[in-house]
Each structure stands twice: as structure tokens, then as C-alpha cells.
């Protein structure tokens, strides 16, 4: 094969890979984003989404090793974008808004890079005539063009999604703490319970002790600050697939899929320690709150949300009666 024929077969291969990477990356991105809403409450969907991302990412990586430096940079940007999106799925508790902003910024930078590189190549081609090297540039230009079109299509879509995400967040989250509202918590919990056939899951109800006294002694605003501190402590002490919500007033709930009664007890006791370590400072005054925690665990036998909730609630009641700042786990003997 002549050098020129070699070059053209390389170009054909590269074009194919560039198109493939563009398609898979965009497809993975769209699929991932489309599944985001459900992935946030369904770990199985999150796994599927991750698969889409990594297939796209793999193809992008292969394409970048075969392409020009400019395309390698482009592919790298796509890869970063994909990873950021992937990250969004696993940062269920953090505001996705920030991630969308980063993605959008990446896309804008990408569009500018494409535009300037494309212009430089175009000027070079116009001044020097067609040659083998310029033919390669031509392919680069084409892939840049395609990526820019994809970028242009993605930007308004991301905008719409982030707006929807914002309103969804406002509707499903508690204003004061940013945790799931009671309604959203129960909906997410039902989703998880229905999915985890025969699996273990534990429900923790966390209630601040003598919260009325905190309000009376330090004021309502200080009380609000205590609620915020507790929400942050609870969230940071849970895993990604646990869900945390504010049921109302000074009562919070955590649903932990896959957690047996013994482990739930360990986690809850660790939470008591963390809460003791994280006091709230309001107007230079340190406010130390304690909580009582009631736990109920499904042991694989079909358990409904109502059963689980009322069991955790009676366990909480017992913890309060036994002196507060305590963890108590529901046992069937409690019914007797
Ligand atoms: N600051 C603040 N207070 C609230 C909020 N929601 C409910 N509360 C207050 O929470 C207090 C709850 O008091 P109680 O139900 O008597 O419970 P408690 O004082 O924590 O007593 P135990 O639960 O028995 O330990 C009430 O004084 C409510 O006004 C809120 O969003 N912010």
C-alpha cells in the first residue's frame, strides 16, 4: 500500500471511530440523564446507567489514542463530561445543580475550542491547498463540526433538565434542611422496599430530645440552626444508597437498604456519637442537642411501609421513655 493509501485508510478508520465515539458518548449522556430521576432512588438503574457511561467512555478513550492531539483533547473533554455526569448519579444527596453547571461550562469551553481550532485549520487549508496532512485536518474539522453540533443540541437540553431538576428539588425537599420532604421520603422508601424483594432494610426514626426547651431557651432561629446541623450530620453519616428525610418538626428518618438489625444498631449508635461531637454554634453560643433513635428492620418476610414505620415509631417511644439520647430496636416482644 502506498503512503497516501495508508493515510486514507487511517483517516477512514479514524472517522469511523470519531463518529462512533460521538454517537456513544452523546447516547450515554442522554440515556444517563434520562435515567437520572429514577436512578436517584433505584440503585439497580444507577448500575445500568454506569454501564452506559463506561461503554461510551471506553470507545472515547480508544478513539483518542488513534486520533490527532486535537481530537485527543476533544475526547478527553467528552470523557470528563461523562465522568461528571456519572458523578451526578452517585452524588444523590448533593445538589445536582452544581454538577449541571460544571457540565454546561465544559460544553461551552468545548464549543469555543472547536470553533477556534476549526477556524485555524480552515485558514491553513485555504492558504496551502489540499495535501495529505490537510486531508487529515479535514477529518479533524469534520469531527469538530459534529461535536459542536452535538454541543449546541445538548446545551438547551441541559438547561431544561436543570430547570426541571430545580423545581423537582423545590417540590421534594424540605426548605429548612434541604433533606427529602416527608412525602418524597415515603415515595422513595416505597420504591426501595418494592425493589428489595426478600432483602434486609432498616428504618431509623431520629427525634431530637427536649427540642421545645432548646427553642424556649435559645430562640426559634437557634432551633432552626440545630435542625440544619442535625440534617448535615445525618446525611454525612449515611451511605450513598441510604435515604434521609425530615418527617416534620424535629423528627427525621433514614432508610438503609441491605442493613440488618445488628448493623443498624451499630450505625445508629455511631450517629449518637457524631451528634454529640457536632454541636451547633448560634450567636457565639454552643448548643448541644441529643437525639433518640427507634429502629425497625425488615428481615426478608414481606413488610409493608406502614408496619415498618409503626415498629420504628414504637421503638422510638421506648427510647424516649427509657431516658432519651438512646437507640432502641423494635422486637416482636414489644407488641405483647
Ligand atoms: N425551631 C423550630 N422548631 C420547630 C420546628 N418544627 C417544630 N418545632 C418545635 O419542636 C418542638 C417539639 O416539641 P415536643 O413535641 O414537645 O418534643 P420535645 O420537646 O423534643 O420533647 P421530646 O421529643 O419528648 O424529647 C415544638 O416546640 C415545636 O414548636 C421548626 O421547623 N423549627
Angstrom distance (rounded) from CA 76 to CA 67:
12
Is residue 316 scored above 90 in pLDDT? yes
Can you name the residues that pair with 130 across neighbouring β-strands? none
In the reported structure, the alpha carbon of residue 209 is separated from the centroid of ligand 1 by a whole-number distance in angstroms of 9
Pairwise CA distance, residues 134 & 115, whole Å: 17
Report the distance separating Cα 336 and Cα 330, nearest Å: 12
The answer, yes or no, to whether residue 202 has pLDDT greater than 60, is: yes
- The CA 181 to ligand 1 mean position distance, Å, reads 17
pLDDT digits (tens, 9 = 90+) for 261-289: 889 999 999 999 999 999 999 999 999 99
User: Which DSSP string do the residues of 87-148 spell out, in sequence order?
Assistant: HHHH-TTS-HHHHHHHHHHHHHHHHHHHHHHHHHHHHHHHHH---HHHHHHHHHHHHHHHHH
Kindly give the distance from the C-alpha atom of residue 223 to the centroid of ligand 1, in angstroms, as a whole number.
9
Q: Stretch 313-317: mean pLDDT, rounded?
A: 96
Mean predicted confidence (pLDDT) in 79-104: 54
Catalytic residue numbers?
250
Residue 249 beta carbon below 6 angstroms from any ligand 1 atom: yes
- The DSSP symbol for 42 reads -
The CATH number of 182-335, from 3.40.50.280, 3.30.70.270, 3.40.630.30, 3.90.400.10, is 3.30.70.270
Q: If you search the block for the grid coordinates 412525602, which residue do you land on?
A: 183
Residue 251, helix vs strand vs coil? strand
CB of 174 closer than 6 A to ligand 1? no
Average pLDDT over residues 190-215: 87
Q: Is the CB of 225 under 6 A from ligand 1?
A: no
Nearest atom (ligand 1) to Cα of 222: 1
- Percentage of the chain exceeding pLDDT 70: 47
- Identify the three-state secondary structure at position 195: helix
pLDDT grade, residue 23 (50/70/90)?
low
210 pocket-lining for ligand 1 (C-beta < 6 Å): yes
CA–CA gap between residue 54 and residue 40 (Å, rounded): 18
5's CB contacts (< 8 A; 6+ apart) are none
Q: How far is the CA of 269 from the centre of ligand 1 (A)?
A: 22
H/E element, 13 = helix 3-39
Mean pLDDT calculated for residue range 20-25 = 57
Protein residue with least CA distance to atom 16, ligand 1: 212
User: Span 20-34, mean pLDDT?
Assistant: 56
Provide the pLDDT for residue 22: 56
> Is any ligand 1 atom within 6 A of the Cβ of residue 215?
yes
Q: pTM higher than 0.80, yes or no? A: no
* pLDDT tens sequence across 106-165: 665 655 565 555 555 555 555 655 555 555 555 565 665 566 566 556 655 665 665 666
Which residues neighbour 318 within 8 Å (Cβ) at sequence distance 6 or greater?
294, 328, 334
Report pLDDT for 208: 98
Amino acid at each position: 500500500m502506498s503512503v497516501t493509501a495508508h493515510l486514507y485508510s487511517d483517516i477512514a478508520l479514524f472517522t469511523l471511530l470519531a463518529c462512533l465515539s460521538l454517537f456513544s458518548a452523546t447516547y450515554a449522556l442522554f440515556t444517563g440523564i434520562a435515567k437520572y430521576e429514577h436512578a436517584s432512588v433505584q440503585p439497580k438503574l444507577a448500575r445500568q446507567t454506569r454501564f452506559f457511561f463506561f461503554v461510551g467512555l471506553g470507545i472515547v478513550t480508544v478513539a483518542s489514542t488513534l486520533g490527532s492531539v486535537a481530537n485527543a483533547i476533544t475526547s478527553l473533554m467528552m470523557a470528563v463530561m461523562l465522568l461528571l455526569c456519572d458523578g451526578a448519579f452517585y452524588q444523590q444527596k448533593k445538589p445536582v445543580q452544581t454538577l449541571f453547571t460544571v457540565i454546561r461550562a465544559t460544553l461551552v469551553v468545548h464549543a469555543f475550542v472547536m470553533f477556534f481550532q476549526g477556524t485555524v485549520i480552515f485558514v491553513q487549508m485555504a492558504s496551502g491547498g489540499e495535501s495529505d496532512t490537510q486531508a487529515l485536518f479535514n477529518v479533524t474539522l469534520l469531527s469538530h463540526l459534529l461535536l459542536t453540533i452535538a454541543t449546541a443540541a445538548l446545551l438547551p437540553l441541559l438547561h431544561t433538565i436543570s430547570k426541571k431538576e430545580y423545581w423537582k428539588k423545590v417540590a421534594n425537599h424540605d426548605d429548612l434542611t434541604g433533606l427529602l420532604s416527608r412525602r418524597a421520603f415515603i415515595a422513595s422508601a416505597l420504591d426501595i422496599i418494592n425493589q428489595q424483594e426478600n432483602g434486609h432494610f432498616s428504618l431509623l426514626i431520629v427525634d431530637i430530645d427536649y427540642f421545645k426547651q432548646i427553642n424556649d431557651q435559645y430562640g426559634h432561629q437557634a432551633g432552626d440552626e440545630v435542625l440544619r446541623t442535625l440534617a448535615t450530620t445525618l446525611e454525612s453519616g449515611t451511605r450513598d444508597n441510604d435515604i434521609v428525610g425530615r418527617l416534620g418538626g424535629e423528627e427525621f428518618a433514614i432508610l438503609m437498604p441491605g442493613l440488618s438489625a445488628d448493623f443498624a444498631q451499630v450505625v445508629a449508635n455511631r450517629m449518637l456519637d457524631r451528634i454529640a461531637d457536632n454541636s451547633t454554634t448560634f450567636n457565639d453560643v454552643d448548643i448541644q442537642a441529643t437525639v433518640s433513635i427507634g429502629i425497625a428492620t425488615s428481615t426478608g418476610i414481606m413488610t409493608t411501609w406502614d408496619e415498618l414505620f409503626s415498629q420504628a415509631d414504637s421503638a422510638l417511644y421506648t427510647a424516649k421513655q427509657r431516658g432519651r439520647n438512646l437507640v432502641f430496636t423494635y422486637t416482636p416482644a414489644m407488641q405483647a
